[in-house]
Each structure stands twice: as structure tokens, then as C-alpha cells.
């Protein structure tokens, strides 16, 4: 039997570079800020970083609008800062993976600018999805597709050569035109991009909208859907022509062919596909190494929902013959402390769920700030930056609330994040007790809980790919991993007795050896 590859059981730390640490005092986090805090990441015990996009970008969608896929934006310190980070991370045995955005470019990308200049029917326009509009003057969009960020998925450009202006497709913001993957130039360019970063020592990629890219040739209308399900991130419906088209698998096979030249590198796809058989297709041996599974993010804090999410994710992994992946949070969703009810209850539940997640076999993704128990922040209208706010006509506030910078020290904003008082998103009052400094010496803190759980996880020799469910009362959840560790969660409203066994870690106090609501514990048996 071959030894498991590093990614199959890694703890990845998702690092939103704008919000982690600012080294140059402009109020925005950067890569030298990450390098300066590698000791923190090392003491947290993570195996790898996933950096949200740092490529050159106008930052309309904070880097998911890439204008030059083979350079680092000066805002983050340029290429030299990335080289410094990769070298310093390697010295402490932390791998660096990057975000890759193959579905679309920025409208500032030279290709798109050339497409605008070249006009209808040109090879330049053939790199994107330009179409004539419907109706007498082409005034109506070519189909009824909606943007995930709200509003139509088409924007009209100015008339050229006396012809009515064409429309171009963008599944996200108008500043993120979708690439036409039927054009072989696109795959050739992506191969250059992959090799460019892999040759620089990057250990792999998180692939944005990995179920996007391929579009059906005739771009058929989509079925009418509830407004909410059009714009919500991390959702998908099986009959949605915008996503999960069969042609996407050939693209993943091409990507894998390149990755196979770098055997220590891995890909993890953002795949919003909830049918397990469809999801598993992305993880065939010649496609992605890992696929994000969003079931835990979507599960309510009930024993039933959490169990169902775990069972489903394990079943998908089994079907795909691939390591399961777990995540409670990311830069697109409300932070779990707030999802679970905010305040003391939200925090206790989030801590308990962290123990559930970190007990499970497979790869785990921790989103920066999760280890501090940060809640979402209610931001005033005038500071919101997420394009979702504008595109939804101010009906959806977007994702800024989970992207507020991390607090490092002190009692007032910006809590050691930056030398500038004005951070790119304002940091709230009252975060003093949540800072790294305040938590790192407190054995009861959320940070200490994460450190201990990750340390224990690293010491476990077998994680396998399955768990054994143990009988419990309906509001409890108990499973045993292949190495014998038992994880127990009390998702009910009453304190319960602990079963026999040695408690090696608990997410909260166990008064009198009993387990209060919203608590999880790890138990071992000699
Ligand atoms: C998914 C990313 O996670 C999200 O942040 C981004 O806005 C969209 N893809 C578009 O790239």
C-alpha cells in the first residue's frame, strides 16, 4: 500500500491576504505580513496555506478578477514578496497553495481589452462569450442567465462598425467576463500559468468555480428559479445550464496532466455540485486531487443535520475513492459563530463543531479567524465593498462581514493588524479579548483549543476514510474513527453524562464530569 499523500490528511489554513496582516501600513494585508507571522501559523500546526488570489487585479472582486495571471499584485508586495513567503514557509515545513481563477478574467485583462477593440466576429472576441442580443435592435440579452452576484449575466458593449453593440457573458460581476473554453488558446495559456507557479515552488491550487468553465454550445435559457437560489453562493441545482457541463471534465484532465509533472502538488476544486455521483466525477484519478465539500457549512447545529452532512461527505468520498474534505467556513459565507446564533451560544457551538471537524478523516480547511472564534461583523452600508451589494440592488449585503481583518493585539482597532488606523474594512470595538495576544496564553481560549486539536490530529497515525457511528440519544452525536478516537457532540439543550473513556480534549468545561449543551469532547480507550 502506498503512503498517503500529504494533502489527503492535511490541515489547510485558508488565508485571505487582505485581512491577515498588513506589513506596510496601507491598511490592507499583504504577503510580507504573512511571512512575518509564520511563527503563528507554525504554532497553530497547519500543514499548508491556501492563499486567496494575489495575482494582478483591479480588485473589483478582491482578486477573483485577474488581469495578469502570472504576476503578483503590488498591493500584496509583488512577486518578490511571494518568493520570500514560499522560501520562509518551506523552512518551517508549511506548503503554500494559491487560488487559480480559470473561469473568467478581469475586464482589465489585455485579452478582454483587445476583444472590445477588435469588434464582432474577431478572434479576440472568440476568447470570451460575445453574442448579438435578441429583439429587433439586439436590445435584449442573448439568454435569461443571471449572475451569481445578482442581475443579468450579460452586459452590452458599445456599438462597433455601425452594428448594434454585442453582449458578453459574466456569471459573476460585469468586471469578470467568462472565458470561452472551447478556444484552445485558453487551455494553452492556463498551462503556462500552472507551470509558472509550480516552478516557483507553489504546492498546488484551489481552483475557483471548478464546475464552471465549460458552457453548453447553444447557451440555452435556465429554468426560472427562486431569487435566493440564483444569487446564493455555494448552491447549485442539477438542471442549471450555467454550471457542471460535461465538457468541464476534459479541462480538469488537462490540468491534471500538468500537475502530474509535479507529483508533490495538488488541486482542490470549488465544486458546488451536491449530487454525489456528479461530484465524484471531478475526483476521478485523472482529474482533481480534492474537491471541497460544503455539507458541513450548510448544516444547522443539530445532531441530525451534522450527522447527515458527515455521512453524505463520506459517501461522496467513498464513491470518488478520494479523501474527504471538511470546512465550516470560508470567505464567501457568514462566519460559523454567527451562523450558530452569535454570542456565547454561537461561540460554544462553533468550538464544538471545530472538534467534530478536526476529528474526522481527510483534509480540513480552517478559514483565518476561525481559530480565534471571530463572529461576522455587521458593517455600515457605506463601507461595503462586495460587488454583491451593488448588483443585488442593495438587497444582499454580500460577504464583507466575514472578511474583516484579524485582530492581533491591543484593545482598540486596528488591533495590531496594521499601522494605519483606517483598515480596508473597519474593525469593530470589543475585539480585545479575541486578539491573538489575548488568546495565546489562555489555555481555555479558542486559539488554544485549535492548537491542541491540530496537535493531537497530527499525532494520529491512522485517519482512514470512514467512521463508526455509536448509538446515542437523539440530540447527541458520537462516532469512532479508525484509530479508535471517539468524538461526542451534545447538540441538545440538556447536560448529559459522559460515557466511559479518557477525555483527551473538550471544547468547553465538563463540570462534574458531565457534558453541557453545545460541547464536544474527544475520548480515547486504552
Ligand atoms: C468563488 C469565490 O470563492 C468567490 O469569492 C468569487 O467571488 C467567485 N468564485 C468568483 O470568482
Verify that 231 and 149 share a domain, yes or no.
no
Residue 240 has pLDDT above 50, yes or no: yes
* DSSP code for 315: H
What digits encode the pLDDT tens for the residues 58-108?
999 999 999 999 999 999 999 999 999 999 999 999 999 999 999 999 999
- Measured torsion, CA atoms of residues 412, 416, 420, 423, in degrees rounded to the nearest 10: -80
What are the start-end ranges of the E strands in 188-333? 204-207, 266-269, 290-291, 325-327
Same domain, 343 and 255: yes
What confidence tens digit (pLDDT) does each residue in 14-69 have? 999 999 999 999 999 999 999 999 999 999 999 999 999 999 999 999 999 999 99
Task: Choose the residue to mutate in 17, 55, 172 for probing ligand 1, maximizing ligand atoms within 8 Å of C-beta.
Answer: 172
Closest ligand 1 atom to residue 399 Cα is 5
E strand or H helix at 13, and its extent? strand 11-15
At 160, the pLDDT band (50, 70, 90 cuts) reads confident
pLDDT of residue 231: 47
The DSSP annotation for 471-496 comes to ---TTEEEEEETTS-EEEEE-SSS-E
Pocket test of ligand 1: the residue of 103, 332, 400 to mutate, having most ligand atoms within 8 Å of its CB, is: 332
Q: Report if residue 343 sits inside a domain.
A: yes
Neighbours of 362 (CB within 10 A): 22
Residue of 17, 84, 50, 61 lying closest to 391 (CA atoms): 61
In this structure, the number of other CB atoms found within 10 A of the CB of residue 276 comes to 16
Answer yes or no: do 203 and 295 share one domain.
yes
Question: Do residue 238 and residue 151 come from a single domain?
Answer: no
Same-domain pairing of 292 and 329: yes
Region 497-524 average pLDDT: 96
Let me know if residue 129 belongs to a domain. Answer: yes
Work out the mean pLDDT of the chain and round it to a whole number.
Answer: 95
Give the domain range for residue 504.
Answer: 466-524
Spatial strand order of the sheet with 154-156 comes to: 130-131, 167-169, 154-156
Q: Is residue 353 part of a domain?
A: yes
pTM of the model as a whole: 0.96
Question: Ligand 1 center to residue 105 CA distance, Å?
Answer: 12
Q: Is 332 in the pocket of ligand 1 (CB under 6 A)?
A: yes
389 inside domain? yes
Inside any domain, residue 6? no
pLDDT tens string 351-393: 999 999 999 999 999 999 999 999 999 999 999 999 999 999 9
| Statement: residue 224 has pLDDT above 90 | no
Q: What is the pLDDT of residues 423-453, one digit of tens each?
A: 999 999 999 999 999 999 999 999 999 999 9
Same domain, 206 and 61: yes
Q: State whether 269 and 401 are in the same domain.
A: yes
What does R_g of the chain's alpha carbons equal in angstroms?
A: 23
The closest-lying atom of ligand 1 relative to the alpha carbon of residue 332 is 5
Same domain, 331 and 407: yes
The pLDDT, as a whole number, for residue 235 is 58
CATH number of the domain where residue 44 is located: 3.20.20.80
Of 430, 454, 478, the residue at which a domain comes to its end is 454
The pLDDT value given to residue 223: 87
Among 270, 287, 336, 371, the active-site one is 270
In whole angstroms, what is the distance from residue 190 CA to residue 183 CA? 12
Residue with CA closest to ligand 1 atom 8: 64
For a mutational test of ligand 1's pocket, the pick from 150, 153, 209, i.e. the residue with the most ligand atoms closer than 8 A to its C-beta, is: 209
Say which DSSP state 162 is in.
T
Q: State whether 240 and 216 are in the same domain.
A: yes
Which residue in the list 61, 208, 287, 336 is annotated as catalytic?
A: 208
Active-site residue, 422 included: no
Mutate to test the pocket of ligand 1, among 19, 57, 208 (most ligand atoms within 8 A of CB): 208
Question: What's the CATH code of the domain at 160?
Answer: 3.90.400.10
Q: Say how far apart CA 354 and CA 327 lie, in whole Å.
A: 9
Domain count, the chain: 3
Cβ atoms of 68 and 197 within 8 Å: the answer is: no
Whether the pLDDT of residue 3 is over 90: the answer is no
SS3 296: helix
Strands 325-327 and 363-367: parallel
Tell me, using a 6 A CB cutoff, whether residue 209 lines ligand 1: yes
CATH code, domain carrying 512: 2.60.40.1180
pLDDT band at 496 (very low <50, low <70, confident <90, very high): very high
What is the residue with the minimal CA distance to atom 5 of ligand 1? Answer: 332
3-class secondary structure, 328: coil
Residues 123, 100 within the same domain = no
- Contacts of 375 by beta carbon, 8 Å cutoff, 6+ apart: 335, 337, 338, 342, 346, 347
Question: What is d(CA 331, CA 20) in angstroms, rounded to the nearest whole number?
Answer: 12
- Looking from the CA of residue 103, the nearest atom of ligand 1 is 11
Q: Give domain status of residue 461, yes or no.
A: no
Q: Are residues 267 and 322 in the same domain?
A: yes
> Known catalytic residue: 208?
yes
The reply to whether 90 falls in a domain is: yes
Cβ(240)–Cβ(230) under 8 Å?
no
**Is the peptide bond prior to 414 cis by the omega test (within 30 degrees of 0)?**
yes
Q: Is 61 in the pocket of ligand 1 (CB under 6 A)?
A: yes
- CA 411–ligand 1 middle distance (angstroms): 33
Distances (CA, A) of 445 to 311, 317, 442, 495: 30, 33, 5, 22
Where a domain ends, among 454, 477, 496?
454
SS3 state at 209: coil
Q: Is the model's pLDDT at 228 over the cut of 60? A: no
Distance CA 517, CA 292 (A): 29
| Any ligand 1 atom below 6 A from CB of 208 | yes
Q: Virtual CA dihedral for 461, 464, 469, 474, nearest 10 degrees?
A: 90
**Which residue, judged by its Cα, is nearest atom 11 of ligand 1?**
64
Domain end point (choices 421, 454, 487):
454
Per-residue pLDDT band at 188 (split at 50, 70, 90): very high
The C-alpha atoms of residue 54 and residue 97 are separated, in whole angstroms, by 11
Cβ(479) to ligand 1 under 6 A? no
415 and 480 together in one domain: no
Total residue length of the chain: 526
| CB-ligand 1 contact for 64 (6 Å cutoff) | yes
- In terms of pLDDT, which residue wins out, 33 or 159? 33
Amino acid at each position: 500500500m502506498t503512503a498517503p499523500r500529504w494533502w489527503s490528511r492535511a490541515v489547510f489554513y485558508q488565508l485571505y491576504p487582505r485581512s491577515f496582516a498588513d506589513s506596510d501600513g496601507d491598511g490592507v494585508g499583504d504577503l510580507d505580513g504573512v511571512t512575518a507571522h509564520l511563527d503563528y501559523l507554525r504554532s497553530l500546526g497547519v500543514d499548508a496555506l491556501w492563499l486567496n488570489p494575489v495575482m494582478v487585479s483591479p480588485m473589483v472582486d478582491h482578486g477573483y478578477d485577474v488581469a495578469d495571471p502570472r504576476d503578483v499584485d503590488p498591493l500584496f508586495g509583488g512577486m518578490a514578496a511571494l518568493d520570500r513567503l514560499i522560501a520562509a514557509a518551506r523552512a518551517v515545513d508549511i506548503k503554500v497553495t494559491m487560488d487559480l481563477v480559470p473561469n473568467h478574467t478581469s475586464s482589465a485583462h489585455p485579452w478582454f481589452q483587445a476583444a472590445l477593440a477588435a469588434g464582432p466576429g474577431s478572434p479576440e472576441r472568440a476568447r470570451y462569450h460575445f453574442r448579438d442580443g435578441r429583439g429587433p435592435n439586439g436590445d435584449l440579452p442573448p439568454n435569461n442567465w443571471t449572475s451569481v452576484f445578482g442581475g443579468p449575466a450579460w452586459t452590452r458593449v458599445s456599438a462597433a462598425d455601425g452594428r448594434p453593440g454585442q453582449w458578453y457573458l459574466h456569471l459573476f460581476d460585469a468586471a469578470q467576463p467568462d472565458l470561452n473554453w472551447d478556444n484552445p488558446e485558453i487551455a494553452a495559456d492556463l498551462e503556462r500559468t500552472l507551470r509558472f507557479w509550480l516552478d516557483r515552488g507553489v504546492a498546488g491550487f484551489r481552483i475557483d468555480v471548478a464546475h464552471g468553465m465549460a458552457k453548453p454550445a447553444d447557451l440555452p435559457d435556465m429554468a426560472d428559479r427562486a431569487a435566493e437560489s440564483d444569487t446564493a453562493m455555494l448552491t447549485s441545482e442539477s438542471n442549471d445550464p450555467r454550471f457542471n457541463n460535461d465538457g468541464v471534465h476534459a479541462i480538469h484532465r488537462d490540468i491534471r496532466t500538468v500537475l502530474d509533472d509535479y507529483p508533490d502538488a495538488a488541486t482542490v476544486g470549488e465544486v458546488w455540485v451536491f449530487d454525489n455521483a456528479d461530484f465524484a466525477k471531478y475526483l476521478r484519478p485523472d482529474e482533481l486531487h480534492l474537491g471541497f465539500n460544503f455539507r458541513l457549512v450548510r448544516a444547522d447545529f443539530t445532531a441530525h443535520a451534522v450527522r447527515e452532512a458527515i455521512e453524505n461527505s463520506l459517501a461522496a468520498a467513498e464513491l470518488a475513492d478520494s479523501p474527504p474534505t471538511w470546512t465550516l467556513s470560508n470567505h464567501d459565507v457568514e462566519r460559523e459563530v454567527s451562523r450558530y446564533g452569535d454570542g456565547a451560544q454561537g461561540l460554544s457551538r462553533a468550538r464544538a463543531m471545530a472538534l467534530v471537524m478536526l476529528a474526522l478523516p481527510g483534509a480540513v480547511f480552517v478559514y483565518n479567524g476561525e481559530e480565534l472564534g471571530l463572529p461576522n461583523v455587521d458593517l455600515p452600508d457605506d463601507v461595503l465593498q462586495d460587488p454583491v451589494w451593488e448588483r443585488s440592488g442593495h438587497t444582499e449585503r454580500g460577504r464583507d462581514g466575514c472578511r474583516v481583518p484579524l485582530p492581533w493585539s491591543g484593545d482598540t482597532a486596528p488591533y495590531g493588524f496594521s499601522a494605519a488606523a483606517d483598515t480596508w474594512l473597519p474593525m469593530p470595538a470589543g475585539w480585545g479579548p479575541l486578539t491573538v495576544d489575548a488568546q495565546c496564553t489562555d489555555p481555555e481560549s479558542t486559539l488554544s483549543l485549535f492548537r491542541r486539536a491540530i496537535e493531537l490530529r497530527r499525532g494520529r497515525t491512522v485517519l482512514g476514510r470512514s467512521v463508526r457511528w455509536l448509538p446515542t440519544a437523539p440530540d447527541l452525536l458520537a462516532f469512532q474513527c479508525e484509530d479508535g478516537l471517539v468524538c461526542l457532540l451534545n447538540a441538545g439543550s440538556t447536560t448529559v453524562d459522559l460515557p466511559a473513556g479518557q477525555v483527551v480534549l473538550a471544547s468547553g468545561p465538563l463540570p462534574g464530569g458531565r457534558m453541557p449543551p453545545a460541547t464536544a469532547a474527544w475520548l480515547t480507550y486504552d
